[in-house]
Amino acid sequence: MKQTILSGIQPSGILTLGNYLGALRNWVAIQNDYDCKYFIADLHSITVTQDPKTLHENIKKTVMQYLACGLDPDKNTIFIQSHVHEHAELGWILNNSTYMGEMERMTQFKDKSAKQKKDSVRVGLFDYPVLMAADILLYDADLVPVGEDQRQHLEITRTIARRFNSQYGDIFKIPEGYISEAGARIMSLQDPSKKMSKSDSNPNAYISLLDAKDVIIKKFKKAVTDSENVVRYSSEQPGVQNLINIYSCITGKTATEVEKEFEGAGYGTFKVTVGEAVADTLAMIQAKYEELNSPENEDFLKDVYAKGAERARLLATPKLRQVYEAVGFIV
């Protein structure tokens, strides 16, 4: 029997090159080898302010981006998180196997809440890793392919699962992270100490999967580097290091090969070459996206996520029932 893979992305905007290299590209690569469940994490996305109309569109666009990146709806279970109500219900149960202090230590919560006024930070944002644990444990996932920024959330998922199991019996499988070296941490083009994020207020900081070629090249030209003017893979040159990482991911070349390729060349040439390589890769995704993004395809898309939710429920419903029984509810 194939092992179960589960992962999701928040529909909080058009996906970025970070989401693609850190997650989606790897999902596509493993779709034949595992039983894969990939969802659109809409429940997670409202932990920060969303405009309802834009969110509605972004959910559909995220489904299309999953397919455009190469996920096959016949091979994978592709669904929308809120269509499977068991996620939220299990989240509530798991809130009671989680401690406040554990949530307070989550770096993503600390980072995101620091950007907001103290008295308007939502409880949902604080509690979000518990919902993420529910997403994973509901399907007895073996492996969770994510970028480096989610490592701490996976650790807390394992802690919660172990704690629940020790109180109520052997209910949950303890999942493992699946974080590939390459692409696990794509940084902002404007501040290489921060990860590339679709919610960055400066659009020059990220490459969106749907950016046009000229926009992509312009953003790479503006990417923050340093005054060394030497293409070297070194933590002392974090901006250049990030661009080398991106170029390596796209071309499959090692960092040493990239250094050789650009020996003696200035940053100008390097940045444009990286931009073109990224634009060429995204052009294929964009062409598929445009094909999907037409009114004739609406029914097809609905069918994809409706069938996905149906398949997801086949596992989620009995699992939640098992949990309810274990805690003593009348089912």
In the complex, the residues that contact ligand TYM under the rule CB under 6 A are 6-10, 18-19, 22-23, 41, 44, 132, 135-136, 144, 146-147, 149-150, 183-186, 195-196
Considering beta carbons, is residue 140 or 149 the nearer one to ligand TYM?
149
Evaluate whether 311 touches 77 at the Cβ level (below 8 Å).
Answer: yes
d(CA 8, CA 10): 7
| Nearest to ligand TYM of 125, 132 (CB atom) | 132
- Closest distance between ligand TYM and the C-beta of residue 266, in Å? 26
We find the least distance from the C-beta atom of residue 294 to ligand TYM, in angstroms, to be 26
Structure-token pair, residue 315: 């596992």
In the complex, what is the shortest distance from the CB of residue 127 to ligand TYM, in angstroms, rounded to a whole number? 12
Q: Which of 37, 112, 271, 319 is catalytic?
A: 112
* DSSP for residue 72: -
Comparing CA positions, the residue from 153, 152, 113 lying closest to residue 134 is 153
Please identify the residue of the shown chain whose CB is closest to the bound ligand TYM: 22
- In the bound state with ligand TYM, the residue whose beta carbon lies nearer, of 22 and 73, is 22
Quick count: other Cβ atoms within 10 Å of Cβ 147? 20
Cβ contact 21:182 at 8 Å:
yes
Toward ligand TYM, which CB reaches closer, 222 or 260?
222
CA dihedral 272, 277, 280, 285 (to 10 degrees): -120
| Residue of 37, 60, 61, 195 marked active site | 195
User: Pick from 271, 204, 199: which is nearest to 231 by CA?
Assistant: 271
- Taking the complex as a whole, how short is the minimal distance between the CB of residue 306 and ligand TYM, in angstroms? 21
Q: Is 112 a catalytic residue?
A: yes
**Nearer CB in complex with ligand TYM: 155/325:** 155
DSSP line for 239-272: HHHHHHHHHHHHH---HHHHHHHTTT--HHHHHH
- Which residues, at least 6 apart from 82, have a Cβ–Cβ distance to it below 8 Å? 42, 43, 88
Shortest spacing between CB 45 and ligand TYM, in angstroms = 8
Determine the Cα–Cα distance for residues 209 and 65; give it in Å rounded to an integer.
Answer: 8
| Angle of CA points 22, 28, 33, to nearest 5° | 115
Which C-beta is closer to ligand TYM: that of 70 or that of 325?
70
Choose the catalytic residue: 60, 61, 198, 271. 198
Neighbours of 221 (CB within 10 A): 15
8 A C-beta contact, residue 59 and residue 15: no
Question: What is the Cα–Cα distance from 289 to 177, expressed in whole angstroms?
Answer: 29
Partners of residue 35 on adjacent β-strands? 4
Q: How far is the CB of 263 from ligand TYM (least distance, A)?
A: 27
Active site residue 198: yes
Q: Which residues are catalytic?
A: 112, 195, 198
